[in-house]
Amino acid sequence: MVDVHQPLRDNVRLLGDSLGKTIEDHLGTAILDTIETIRRLAKQGRAGDSESRARLEELLTTLSDEQILPVTRSFNQFLNLANIAEEVHRVRRRKHDSNQLMDDDTLPQQLVRLHNHGISKDDIVKQILALDIELVLTAHPTEAVRRTLIQKYDGIAECLRALDNVGDDTADGQRLVDRLKELISQAWHTNEIRTRRPTPVDEAKWGFAIIENSLWKAMPRFLRQLDESVEIATGHRLPLSAAPIRFASWMGGDRDGNPFVTSAVTREVLLLARWQAADLFSKDISDLRAELSMGDCNATLRQAVGDDEQEPYRAYLRQLSRRIEATQRWARDELAGRPADDSDILRHNEELLQPLLECDRSLRECGMDIIAEGMLRDIIHRAYVFGIHLLRLDIRQNSERHAQVFEELVAYYGWGNYAEWSEPQKQAFLLRELKDRRPLFPRDWVPSEEVQEVLATCRTVAQTPASALSAYVISMASVPSDVLAVILLLKEAGMSWNIPVAPLFETLDDLDNAQSCMQQLLDMPWYKAYTQGQQMVMIGYSDSAKDAGHLAATWGQFKAQEALTALCSERGVHLTLFHGRGGTVGRGGGPSHTAILSQPPRSVNGSIRVTEQGEMIRFKFGIPEIAVRNLELYTGAVLEATLTPAPAPKMEWRKLMDDMTAVSCREYRAMVRDNPQFVPYFRAATPEQELAKLPLGSRPAKRKVDGGVESLRAIPWIFAWTQMRLMLPTWLGSDQALARIEAQQRLDELRDMASEWRFFSAYLDMLEMVMAKTDTNTAAWYDQRLVGADLQPLGAELRTRLRDMIALYKRIRGRDELLVQNPVIKHSIGVRNPYIDPLHLLQAELMRRVRLYGEKGVPNQIDQALMVTMTGIAAGMRNTG
């Protein structure tokens, strides 16, 4: 029997041996021997050898401050190399293993299934052309790996892929192996930890790099593959304009709680995107002109270049090249603050597309379809997907900041206290001013710096072309005045078009109230006209789960989407739901296609927006082949959810979910909010306090510097529990709710729900994946090293509850082990555990030392080693935020 994982093991061995040789060359044989001893003891401990585990704990706690840094670095590097090998193996298996190509979530299989379901071929094509999928790249701080290291890791991945084609026993193979060793050495000798936090502009540049290095290649491949699949299944070809997936970004536009995202930063990011797009298209057009040396052309092209031109396509595209170069110069001068000439720049995407489409038309009319189907087609696809702005920017701001503007303005006019007005009073005022043509803001008004920044942002938005922006998102939205306030601010700034304004409903109460809020808005004739028949609403996954627990939040999100879908259908408005999903399950993470197919019936309806955050951007889209697969999954899932929506859940299932979530929410809040020992335990057992040392992203970890857990952002809340493997936010509360159902002898009802209801099945699958990543022994080690005797009983209680939860889950599913149905993830976790274990043990020891040093000053190597353990554990756990 063929061992499908053997190439993966071979790659891991090659990378590991190269890393070991690099460490030995740098630090000597003694430190390498120590690392190998730790690795061997960790493997034996994982295999159940308690003596080896005890020796491992003793060895790691007695390492000197000087030894501890290279040891942590070695295991961190190995986990990053293992991730690379695994990603390459995923590509390899899809390419070579025919069984992988028969997955029922591939586009060809889905198209056949849809047709067999009674959907006509014409309707399938019509719906594909109507798909509107927007993936929104965000810079939320869960990408722990530095950009310079990511570039080296990309190089390592390219070498591994190339080795598959030549073998390592050839001359070319040896050169690739040598290059691998060089890149691994470069990575080892590069500091893993940023010396400063990235700025919002740095984050935006990282997003641009993902497009340049992967998505620029992946999108044309995906669109070709989509066209081929559709032609085989329906006999129709898609037009060149077909672009079911586009990209937007929050990088440089998300100012919610981030004081570093200013109007000046937003303007700079928009200009950088223009420059980056021009740079990429400049290279493409240069390569295209080199290829299009043909002399035959149609009458339109001939008239444009003249009768004497021997190479009409090159001549015709010369002017486009000049305009792209002019756009680059203009953007560069604007960024540098120099006088900028905008007389010949590209202002509209049609100005980029028209010359390309004319070349395509001429080639086809002259019988050169095969040439039109080459490089030109790929560039046209990129022009439709990315265009002159590269990716559209979202603006996001907290509702409190908008309200502050009107509080100060109303006080200036002496009209009272805006904050004390009732909601109907606020709505009446805002609507009256929206309908009034006179300016509202006085010229001599000098508001606070915070308000001036909000107004400056609105002016920047108003001055930006509509094609460069996607939406204005209002975080912590709860009432109609939150939406009307933004529209009025933009109107006063000179906005000339109706930008989609998306309220973000985040807490459980706000989700429950979402339908009422939107109903009030859509019942306002002025607002209904503003929407032009299109409404976007963002669903928050992070804060709702942190507020009420994962089970209650998940059900609250489902019901909110149901209610909003019904409301917009009644009002004749097309609803686009914007899912603010993170990488980890506690923030809505998990396989994208599973999540889409488990949405409420008719809530997808051809359009969807989804955030792709932090390290998940790199894992999903960092390699072109993997990016193509994820784009395929998104497209197929949205198409299937639109054309064959799942049936509504049975009433008895809804009642059972209501009962379970009531228990779950109560038990979750009883622990997190009401137990006086919980916050001290959380801060003692997890690296929540130490996470502030890690310069992950530009945004502060807390909304308020002096706040408690309630002010902590959802990402560090999840990140901290993941680091010590208790994963509490995902299962706490659910354990008591499910136990109550078992006590009532109703497990058969749960099993029926799991087998017949995609939503509940997806919930259980995600819960299972998280539980498979928990480790109560590791969590106990953190307690032993860090938690005082008075708080240790709480830790023991939580670990007991987790073990009971896992046992209960197995009974519900009728299985003896976790992940029986998902051997790939099970194998991945099993491979990583022996290498993550030392990092957990080291992290707890390093936290102990840091806390002992206290005000005396922590040695640099201890601080550095602690941060390396955080990035290493994040790399090993993969979806940490």
Q: Report pLDDT for 196.
A: 73
Return the residue matching tokens 């997955």: 103
- Span 657-675, mean pLDDT? 96
Q: Phi then psi for 344, rounded to 5 degrees? A: -125, 20
Question: In this model, does residue 613 exceed pLDDT 90?
Answer: no
Residue 235, classed as helix, strand or coil, is: coil
Domain boundary among 770, 802, 821: 821
Domain shared by 736 and 716, yes or no? yes
pLDDT digits (tens, 9 = 90+) for 578-593: 998 754 434 444 567 7
Residue 252: Cβ within 10 Å count = 29
- 138: Cβ contacts below 8 Å, ≥ 6 apart: 249, 250, 251, 254, 611, 612, 613, 614
With 0-12 CB in 10 A as exposed, 13-18 as middle and 19+ as buried, what is 311?
middle
pLDDT confidence of 834, banded at 50, 70, 90? confident
Specify whether 757 is located in the same domain as 840.
no
Q: Are residues 835 and 768 in the same domain?
A: no
Annotated catalytic residue 435: no
Identify the band that residue 690 occupies on the pLDDT scale cut at 50, 70 and 90.
confident
CA 35 from centroid of its chain's CA atoms: 34
Average pLDDT, the chain: 91
- At residue 147, the pLDDT reads 72
Band (pLDDT 50/70/90 cuts) for residue 101 is: very low
Q: Check: CB of residue 665 under 8 Å from CB of residue 548.
A: yes
Query: How far does the chain reach from its first CA to its final CA, in angstroms?
Result: 38
Looking at residue 588, its pLDDT comes to 42
Q: Are residues 667 and 771 in the same domain?
A: yes
Q: Domain of residue 684: give its range.
A: 651-821
CA-CA distances (angstroms) from residue 423 to 420, 426, 536?
A: 9, 5, 22
CA–CA gap between residue 310 and residue 718 (Å, rounded): 64
3-state percent breakdown (helix, strand, coil) of the chain, nearest 5: 70, 5, 25
Residue in this structure with the two tokens 């296609």, named with its chain if needed: 593
- Give domain status of residue 544, yes or no: no
d(CA 388, CA 380): 12
Q: What is the DSSP string of 834-845?
A: HHHHHHHHHHHH
* Residues 242/295, Cβ–Cβ less than 8 Å: no
Q: Are residues 42 and 81 in the same domain?
A: yes
**CA atoms of 313 and 189, how far apart (whole Å):** 49
CA 6 to chain CA centroid, nearest Å = 31
Q: Using one digit for the tens of pLDDT, what is the confidence trace for 216-274?
A: 999 999 999 999 999 999 999 999 999 999 999 999 999 988 899 999 999 999 999 99
- Average the pLDDT over each of 187-196, 630-639, 861-870 and give the range with the smallest value: 187-196
- Asked whether residue 796 falls in the same domain as residue 677, the answer is yes
In the chain, the number of structural domains is 2
Structure confidence at residue 695 (pLDDT): 61
Helix (H, G, I), strand (E, B) or coil at 510: helix
Q: Tell me the residue length of the chain.
A: 881
* Residue 734 covered by a domain: yes
Q: Is the pLDDT of residue 355 over 80?
A: yes
Do 200 and 261 meet the contact criterion of CB atoms below 8 Å apart?
yes
Q: CA distances (Å), 567 to each of 518, 554, 564, 596, in order? A: 8, 20, 5, 20
Q: Does residue 291 form part of some domain?
A: no
83 and 17 co-located in one domain: yes
* 714 confidence band (pLDDT: 50, 70, 90): low
Cα(251)–Cα(269) distance, integer angstroms: 8
Amino acid identity of 497? Answer: W
**H-helix or E-strand spanning residue 571:** none
Which pLDDT belongs to residue 37? 95
Q: Is residue 283 part of a domain?
A: no
The owner of tokens 């009728």 is 814
Query: Burial level of 654, CB count in 10 A (0-12/13-18/19+)?
Result: middle
Q: CA nearest 610: which of 629, 586, 591?
A: 591
Give the predicted TM-score (pTM) of the model: 0.91
Distance between CA atoms of 100 and 806, rounded to whole angstroms? 30
Q: What stretch of H or E contains 610? A: strand 607-613
Considering the domain boundaries, does residue 878 fall inside one?
yes
546 catalytic per annotation: yes
Q: Which of 140, 426, 620, 840 is catalytic?
A: 140
For the cut 50, the answer to whether the pLDDT of residue 778 exceeds it is: yes
Point out the domain boundary residue: 797, 821, 845.
Answer: 821
Residues 865 and 753 in one domain: no
Q: Each residue of 427-483: pLDDT tens digit?
A: 999 999 999 999 999 989 999 999 999 999 999 999 999 999 999 999 999 999 999
pLDDT tops 50 at residue 519: yes
Question: Which of 135-149, 228-242, 332-346, 808-822 is predicted least confidently?
Answer: 135-149
Higher pLDDT, 690 or 726: 726
Same domain, 802 and 881: no
> 389, 546, 579, 840: which one is catalytic?
546
The answer to whether residues 850 and 866 touch, using CB atoms and an 8 Å cutoff, is yes
Instruction: Enumerate residues 6+ apart whose C-beta is below 8 A from 361.
Output: 298, 300
pLDDT on residue 461: 98
Q: DSSP label at 691?
A: G
Alpha helices in 395-507 (DSSP H): 399-413, 423-435, 449-462, 480-492
Same domain, 751 and 855: no
Judgement on whether residues 761 and 855 belong to the same structural domain of the protein: no
The answer to whether residue 40 sits within a structural domain is: yes
**Is residue 242 within 8 Å of 129, Cβ to Cβ?**
yes
pLDDT of residue 140: 52
User: Are the C-beta atoms of 327 and 274 separated by less than 8 Å?
Assistant: yes
Structure confidence at residue 92 as a pLDDT band (50, 70, 90): confident
Confidence check: pLDDT of 108 > 80: yes
Give the bridge partners for 398, in sequence order.
Answer: 475
DSSP secondary structure, 5-21, as one string: THHHHHHHHHHHHHHHH
Strands (DSSP E) found in 414-561: 469-475, 501-505, 534-540
The bridge status of strand 132-138 relative to strand 245-249 is parallel
Name the band, by pLDDT with cuts 50, 70 and 90, for residue 879.
low
Query: Could you tell me if 811 and 837 lie in one domain?
Result: no
Q: Ramachandran region of residue 657, left (φ > 0), alpha (ψ -120 to 50) or beta?
A: alpha
Q: Are 221 and 59 in contact (CB under 8 A)?
A: no
Contact of 880 with 143, CB cutoff 8 Å: no
Determine, yes or no, domain membership for 748: yes
Report yes or no on 850 lying in a domain: yes
Backbone phi and psi for residue 718, each to the nearest 5 degrees, phi listed first: -70, -45
Buried b (16+ CB within 10 A) or exposed e, 413-430: eeeeebeebeeeebbebb
Which of 821, 844, 859 marks a domain boundary?
821
Average pLDDT over residues 812-820: 92
pLDDT score at 589: 43
Nearest Cα to Cα of residue 609 among 633, 583, 644, 575:
575
Tokens of 453: 């920044």
Q: Virtual CA dihedral for 627, 831, 149, 158, nearest 10 degrees?
A: -50
Q: Does position 619 have pLDDT exceeding 90, yes or no?
A: no
CA-atom Rg of the chain in angstroms: 28
- How many Cβ atoms from other residues are within 10 Å of residue 191's Cβ? 12
